[in-house]
Amino acid sequence: MKPATLRAWSKVHTWSSLICTLFMLILALTGLPLVFHDEIDGIGKPERIERWNDAELVSLDRAIAAALALEPGAVPIYLSFDEDRPVVNLTSGPVGDAPETAMRFHPIDRRTAAPPQGEAPGGGVMDVVLDLHKDLLLGTVGEYFVGAIGLCFVLALVSGVVLYAPFARKAGFASVRKAKTARTRWLDWHNLIGGVTLAWALVVGLTGTINTLAEPITAWWRADALAHLARDHSGPIASYRPGIADAALRNAQAAVPGMRVQFIAFPGAAFSSRDHLAVYLQGATPLTAKLLTPVMVDARTGKVDGVAPMPWYMKALLLAQPLHFGDYGGMAMKLLWAVLDLVSIVVLGSGLYLWLRKPRTARRGRAA
């Protein structure tokens, strides 16, 4: 590689690293507890296996009515289902297309048509950690900023590989020059650890960036794949009427047999249209459970208007979300993700140390 090219890549690596290092440290530190969010949320809660008889459960619409009674004047936006107990979770708001900040969350036990006993409304400390990790508590602007930081991080990784490749070819991969100065040894360890964790860091950086684009990706999909099923794009949002949720689920599962429901999006929601209930069905395997099949059901008649398979970019988003936190392979994968997260903190810290310990003459030459 020519010296001029090497210097250009060195500048790219230095400045992309400096721009993202502080924020990546925040993301790495907040990401560590999020890997174990299920376990942390379960601290202090008795672990028990719940059993129930499906025939004794109240209907979905009765559960929805119980949740709406807690917030008079609200309308349903999403209905999700717990996997290990007969509890549905209604997300409601003043209107069907309400922003996330105006939404409220109400779990309802279908055995009693009431909120589950012993649960307090509202989120805990992990919700704050998630918001800090997702958007630095800055909302949508912060989410896009985190996405830009993710791209900067990927650029730093790629430029680091370009710079390390000539050294690896000459001295061998993972070589540490023990006879050199402390800064040189730190540089070799920085390159070694960065090279070992490169694949994981790229996966986490890219999936994190994809996750920050969930809103525009969903809007694109809604305008593309769902547009032909909507009858009136500018008309009023169809009103919820009792009985429609049970009918929608029953007809959707009849249209796509052998699948189970993950959630239902009501008219106006980002994952539906203005005149449909979108019933999202999932498979039974760990992989197919992440890839959803939406069935669009007429909000007025309950009849299936069509099945809208997810396009590739929505599949990428749905797969990126759990992969980012290692939610695929149980505790073993979570532990691996945690170790790699800690190692990435060492890489980020060592990179900052190397820049701060750069000889003053080199800095003056670079400034000139």
Q: What is the pLDDT of residues 229-241, one digit of tens each?
A: 665 556 789 999 9
Q: Round to whole Å and give the CA distance between 245 and 27.
A: 39
Residue 368: its pLDDT value, please? 42
Q: Round to whole Å and give the CA distance between 195 and 203.
A: 14
Res. 311: pLDDT tops 90: no
Instruction: Report which of 57, 3, 122, 36 is spatially closest to residue 337, judged by C-alpha positions.
Output: 36
Q: Round to whole Å and give the CA distance between 110 and 61.
A: 10
Res. 120: pLDDT tops 70: no
Res. 360: pLDDT tops 60: no
Contacts by 102-105, CB closer than 8 A, 24 or more apart: 103/77, 104/71, 104/74
For the chain, give the longest Cα–Cα distance.
78
CA distances from 367 to 360, 361, 364 (A): 10, 10, 5
- Residue 367: pLDDT band with limits 50, 70, 90: very low
Q: Round to whole Å and give the CA distance between 282 and 91.
A: 20
Of residues 226 and 248, more confidently modeled: 248
| Structure token digits, residue 188 | 């070799």
Residue 133 burial class via C-beta count within 10 angstroms: exposed 0-12, middle 13-18, buried 19 and up: buried
Which of the residue ranges 125-129, 169-173, 216-220, 338-342 would you say has the lowest mean pLDDT?
169-173
Residues 70-119: tens digit of each pLDDT: 999 999 999 999 988 899 999 999 999 999 889 999 999 999 999 998 66
Instruction: Report which of 21, 26, 8, 28 is spatially closest to residue 354, judged by C-alpha positions.
Output: 21
Residue 254: left (phi > 0), alpha (psi -120 to 50), or beta?
alpha
Q: Round to whole Å and give the CA distance between 246 and 229.
A: 21
Residue 46: its pLDDT value, please? 63
Which of the residue ranges 132-136, 176-180, 231-235 would you say has the lowest mean pLDDT?
231-235
Which of the residue ranges 168-177, 226-235, 267-276 would you say has the lowest mean pLDDT?
226-235
Q: Round to whole Å and give the CA distance between 12 and 156.
A: 7
CB atoms within 10 A of CB 134: 20
Of residues 252 and 315, more confidently modeled: 252
- pLDDT over 90 for what percent of the chain? 38
Contact 310, 295 (CB under 8 A): no
CA distances from 208 to 63, 82, 148, 348, 357 (A): 35, 25, 10, 17, 30
- pLDDT over 70 for what percent of the chain? 87
- Number of C-alpha atoms within 13 angstroms, CB side, residue 129? 15
- Residue 215: pLDDT band with limits 50, 70, 90: confident
Residue 221: its pLDDT value, please? 79
Query: How far out from the chain centre does Cα 215 lie?
Result: 11
Res. 350: pLDDT tops 80: yes
The residues facing 261 across adjacent strands are: 281
- Can you tell me the mean pLDDT for 265-285? 88
**What is the residue-averaged pLDDT of the chain?**
84
CA distances from 164 to 21, 67, 145, 254 (A): 19, 58, 28, 57
Residues 12-54: tens digit of each pLDDT: 888 888 899 899 999 999 999 999 887 887 776 666 667 788 8
- Can you tell me the mean pLDDT for 318-330? 80
Backbone angles phi, psi at 66, to 5 degrees: -65, -40
